[in-house]
Structure 1
Amino acid sequence: MSTITVPDVELANGATIPQLGLGVFQIPPDDTAEVVRQAVEAGYRHFDTAQMYRNEEGVGEGLKQSGIAREDVFITTKLANDAQGYDNAINALEGSLQRLGTDYVDLYLIHWPLPHKDLYPVTWTAFTDILRAEKARAIGVSNFQPEHLDRLREQSSVVPAVNQIELHPLLQQQELRAYHRAHGIVTEAWSPLAQGEVLGDPVIGEIAAKHGKSAAQVVLRWHIQLGNVVFPKSANADRLRENIDIFDFELDDADLRSITGLDAGHRTGPDPDTFEG
């Protein structure tokens, strides 16, 4: 079992979340349990899934096989886009809990705002009731823009604990991250390596050579130093170990400035303002 310790980030409600975890997006359901078991062995304690990924059951089975205590892991799942609405959101979580084999999740997220449906405000009401019922230790959103977050702040005293957004050196989201800081929202980064697009960049390569690390380790370390919560996806055991082995070096100011210069506003995924699910 790995001795690597991942730092925690405190959420606004006092709960804590490991700053680095494993994302299981696009990991086939039949492979998920074994990948999760290997990740626990490598030191991962944070697992990010979603109803739409169709591998929640594999996450639960992998954690069961690992023998790790439920209180020692952090599980995130996300509401399916077709399950927005008050009753739907509550019922969908019950299905997730059954598939995951747990009585609660650590974090429940609205996966996309889908502004054309205009259901995310009433869905957030359901989420606050889920929080009060202790079916989730924290609640948040994913892919929300400031105007979406403003509507939630207007209607509820419960601010999302996190906003999970596409974020990587090619899309640094500085304005949205500033909004998060101003309102006590933790930034989570999905597609943290830009689906691999950034790994061949010569700037990243020079920094990696300087520190004796891989390009992926440099980018993940950049996320950590920004304060992001990050969960790279991998189904490869060696890559799992490489991705978590980023706590024995630090990028200097020159490195950080160089990476800041890579921002190109480039998305690898959908635009939240136009995505219709």
Structure 2
Amino acid sequence: VPKSKILESTKIAIDIGFRHIDSAYVYQNEKEIGQAIRRKIADGVVKREDIFLTTKLWSTFHRPELVKVGLERSLKNFQLDYVDLYLIHYPMSIKPSEEIYTKNENGKILFETVDLCATWEAMEKCKDVGLVKSIGVSNFNRRLLEMILNKPGLKYKPVCNQVECHPYLNQSKLLDFCKSKDIVLVAYGALGSQRPETWVDQNAPFLLNDPVLCAMAKKHNRSPAQIALCYQVQRGVIALAHSYEENEMKENIQVLEFQLPPEDMEVIDGLNRNFRYFPVNFAVGHPNFPFSDEY
């Protein structure tokens, strides 16, 4: 979402009925989102407890002594006392600095190896002191999830794992594993991508132009976006739908008004091609890089 539209689009989303707002320190949108939430609270539209606010620990704050520092920066941005869900954004750690991406003189990102179990223990402490209601992870594969789940002295397991997930990358194996551990799978990129050049191959296919989704949308008198979102909801996946257009937001929230028959769900399952819009190539080679053939 363009930074100039974050404040207004967040207020519109709340007015329409959205209550789950997904943010992150690295998105650099926390100040505007916090302002929108506080404005709607002041207007009497919602109470703080009505909003489920997610933000994420950035990779320069993985060292245990920096986890609370990172969360407190986000809370200062929001100007709120707590967040509802705090996630380790990526399992790849970057050397601490005031920059988003710490780089050397040649422009290469300076990664480091941090014990993510120690990071997780610091996340647990943030929950214990009330700065966050729940804690989870993002972009973790099965191996990394098991590392946290099998950690000696685990106090709180991750409540969710937020990963790229859509009909072209349905994450079925990871979803089954998460369900077996009572971990919720949260889908980003649920509608494909708005194709930012920094992250996405400009030759990537447009998910919402897929002929199968388009034909199914016509059959059900819905939009391709609604079909893609409904698919996730019926699988038990929490789908994040990004838009700053009011008509699209209203359309997205209507996904709860209908269901797809089992045969349509199977057809959409067949679209899976293990295609990623967000391959996060900047971190290839890091020992915790999660996007491999393993799930």
Instruction: Mark yes or no: TM-score above 0.5.
Output: yes
Q: CA deviation at 1:28?
A: 3.2
For 2:181, which of 148, 158, 183 is the aligned residue? Answer: 183
In 1: Cα distance, 2:115 partner to 2:69 partner? 16
Q: State the one-letter code of the partner of 1:129.
A: K
For 1:129, which of 113, 125, 128 is the aligned residue? Answer: 125
2:7 aligned with 1:33, yes or no? Answer: yes
Checking the alignment, whether the CA contact within 8 Å between 2:63 and 2:114 is kept in structure 1 is no
2:241 aligned with 1:243, yes or no? Answer: no
Q: Report the equivalent of 2:215.
A: 206
Whose Rg is larger? Answer: 2
Q: Report the equivalent of 1:16.
A: none
**3-state SS, counterpart of residue 138 of structure 1:** strand
Q: State the one-letter code of the partner of 2:234.
A: Q
Taking structure 1 as reference, are residues 211 and 77 closer, same or farther at Cα in structure 2, changes over 3 Å only? same
Q: CA deviation at 1:201?
A: 0.9
Checking the alignment, whether the CA contact within 8 Å between 1:86 and 1:126 is kept in structure 2 is yes
2:91 aligned with 1:113, yes or no? Answer: yes
Residue correspondence of structure 1 range 11-160 to structure 2 within 5 A:
27-67=1-41, 68-114=46-92, 117-155=113-151, 156-160=154-158
**Quick check: 240-249 or 52-61, which moved more?**
240-249
**3-state SS, counterpart of residue 272 of structure 2:** coil
Taking structure 1 as reference, are residues 220 and 248 closer, same or farther at Cα in structure 2, changes over 3 Å only? same
CA deviations on 1:162-197 (whole Å, 9 max, x unpaired) are 000010000011111111011110000010012162
In 2: Cα distance, 1:183 partner to 1:206 partner? 36
Q: CA deviation at 1:31?
A: 2.1
**Quick check: 57-66 or 184-193, which moved more?**
57-66
**Quick check: 168-177 or 196-205, which moved more?**
196-205
**Quick check: 241-250 or 50-59, which moved more?**
241-250
Q: Report the equivalent of 1:20.
A: none
- Normalising by structure 2, report the TM-score: 0.81
Where does the alignment leave 5 or more consecutive residues of structure 2 unmatched?
94-111, 195-205, 290-295
The higher-RCO structure (CA 8 Å, 6+ apart) is: 1
**3-state SS, counterpart of residue 124 of structure 1:** helix
2:269 aligned with 1:260, yes or no? Answer: yes
Q: CA deviation at 1:228?
A: 0.7
In 1: Cα distance, 2:116 partner to 2:285 partner? 14
In 2: Cα distance, 1:171 partner to 1:134 partner? 35
Q: CA deviation at 1:93?
A: 0.5
In 2: Cα distance, 1:189 partner to 1:146 partner? 16
Checking the alignment, whether the CA contact within 8 Å between 1:114 and 1:275 is kept in structure 2 is no
Residue correspondence of structure 1 range 215-230 to structure 2 within 5 A:
215-230=224-239
Checking the alignment, whether the CA contact within 8 Å between 1:30 and 1:58 is kept in structure 2 is no
Checking the alignment, whether the CA contact within 8 Å between 1:114 and 1:120 is kept in structure 2 is no
Checking the alignment, whether the CA contact within 8 Å between 1:28 and 1:55 is kept in structure 2 is no
Q: State the one-letter code of the partner of 1:142.
A: S
In 2: Cα distance, 1:227 partner to 1:188 partner? 9
Checking the alignment, whether the CA contact within 8 Å between 1:105 and 1:136 is kept in structure 2 is yes
Q: CA deviation at 1:135?
A: 1.0
CA deviations on 1:91-114 (whole Å, 9 max, x unpaired) are 110111111121110000000011
2:284 aligned with 1:274, yes or no? Answer: yes
CA deviations on 1:9-35 (whole Å, 9 max, x unpaired) are xxxxxxxxxxxxxxxxxx233321111
The share of aligned pairs that are identical, in percent, is 33
